[in-house]
Amino acid sequence: MHERTPETHVIDFRAAEQLLEARDPRGAVQLLDPVISAHPENTAARLLRARAFFAAAQLRPAELEFQIVLEREPDNAFAHFALARTLQRANRADEAQRHFRLAAALDPRPDYLAAARFDDAG
């Protein structure tokens, strides 16, 4: 095993992005694990790993990772939206709705607004 350096972590992060785009989320998670072990404060790596967990249908790890991101960046609209989608997939619609609405309030993008369903009663 070669020595891990900040440079190799950057390379691994970029490679993980490519793997996720290439629909290999488990490969992305494997690359990101040592990056996050070395840099647990790296929110970008955690967000990428959360997306990879979601893509691999590993909903509980995805949920936990999105929550860590939101503890650090409570105004991260994408993280709220992605957490909502994760909760929705886990059949937790009420919890999901709260995060869909937070995402739309933070960033009124059409897809966030549609998911938030502000016009529905509730």
Number of structural domains found in the chain: 2
Cβ atoms of 88 and 97 within 8 Å: the answer is: no
Establish if 110 belongs to a structural domain.
Answer: yes
> What does the pLDDT look like over 16-35, one tens digit per residue?
999 999 999 999 999 999 99
* b/e 34-69 (16+ beta carbons within 10 angstroms → b): ebbeeeeebbebbbbbbbbbbbbebbebbbebbebb
Range of the structural domain that residue 121 is part of: 74-122
19 close to 28: Cβ distance less than 8 angstroms = yes
Is residue 52 located within the same domain as residue 3?
yes
Whether residue 22 lies inside any domain: the answer is: yes
Residues 48 and 85 in one domain: no
Per-residue pLDDT at 2: 56
The tens digit of pLDDT for each residue in 2-20 reads: 577 888 999 999 999 999 9
One domain, residues 52 and 85? no
